[in-house]
Amino acid sequence: MPRGHFITLEGLDGSGKTTQIKRLAAWLERRGTVPVVTRQPGGTATGDRIRALALDSRSAGLAPLTEMALMFADRAQAIAEVIEPALAAGKTVLCDRFTDSTEAYQGGGRELGSEIVLELHRLLCGNLQPDLTLLLLPSLEASLRRARRRNERAIAESGTDESRFEQEKDAFYSRVWAKYKEIAEREPERVVLIAGDLTIDEVHEQIVEAVAERLIAAAIQGDVALIGHGWFNRAIAQSLSRRGWRSSRRTFGSGPWSFIALHERKP
Ligand code: TYD
């Protein structure tokens, strides 16, 4: 059984990650892959309790190191209980936030630095790396505007629950933003930066294209990529043709796999 793909979504509060992860999951499902969707903090029974502790505004005065330790406790549990078993079973895992969030928020925002976060990731998470990270990062000004708008709404609606991060100031979010940018520049192979002021549909298009590219890369064998009919879609054809590949649609036999898209590298 080949190992599944591990895809994470990252971005500041109010960046639209949650909407995009739902749309990406639906897109994958329409193509025959039902992903395991999870989030951090949370995603397990233990994780939900850690989430409540870490995000509740009543946890005021939580030391930055405590906050980071909670995030890693949550993550270690999620890896053991949800992520590793799913990947081992060949499933695609979509995770709303992962260690990049800890590096951006605790490493950058709380100024603990990257080194300690990456070291803890090695020690507690077996250094598990996503195959692909989609980072939604509009300009700093737009990000701050959205985070502020979202914070006002959250405080008005909930008053207490989950509003601890929502009470942070612009300087904090500016540091989070800068750290995300740094991560994207450091690891361009893994992190696809989706920047600019884009509509929900435009962001979705870019996400789908990035995901299709990674899945194609996994499907390519030598000069040929054979992709089942479920995978024959515009995004894949477009991205292969940009690489100079020729695509054709063939019919083999009958049944669900009767349509096969054959992509060949042009001579
Ligand atoms: P999330 O539920 O993803 O909120 P949002 O919908 O705003 O993206 O995350 C909750 C908060 O937890 C968010 O403000 C970021 C913070 N966080 C950290 O500070 N460190 C971490 O490692 C993670 C996973 C989240």
CB of 99 closer than 6 angstroms to any ligand 1 atom: no
Average pLDDT over residues 101-106: 98
Is 70 within a domain? Answer: yes
Average pLDDT over residues 248-257: 54
CB of 96 closer than 6 angstroms to any ligand 1 atom: yes
| 16 and 123 fall within a common domain | yes
CB of 103 closer than 6 angstroms to any ligand 1 atom: no
The more confidently predicted of residues 21 and 61 is: 21
Which letter does DSSP use for residue 118 in this model? Answer: H
Q: 254 CB contacts (<8 Å, ≥6 apart)?
A: none
Q: Which domain holds residue 250?
A: 222-267
CB of 74 closer than 6 angstroms to any ligand 1 atom: no
Q: Whose CA is nearest to atom 25 of ligand 1?
A: 101
Residue 267's pLDDT is 60
| 40 and 128 fall within a common domain | yes
Selection from 97, 82, 100 nearest residue 36 by Cα? 82
| 56 and 105 fall within a common domain | yes
Mean residue pLDDT of the chain comes to 85
Task: Measure 11 CA to ligand 1 centroid, in angstroms.
Answer: 9
Selection from 54, 27, 57, 59 nearest residue 39 by Cα? 54
How many domains, in total, are found in the chain? 2
| 257 and 133 fall within a common domain | no
Is 1 within a domain? Answer: no
pLDDT higher than 50, residue 257: no
**C-alpha–C-alpha distance, residues 67 and 59, integer Å:** 10
CB of 40 closer than 6 angstroms to any ligand 1 atom: yes
| 63 and 118 fall within a common domain | yes
| 60 and 106 fall within a common domain | yes
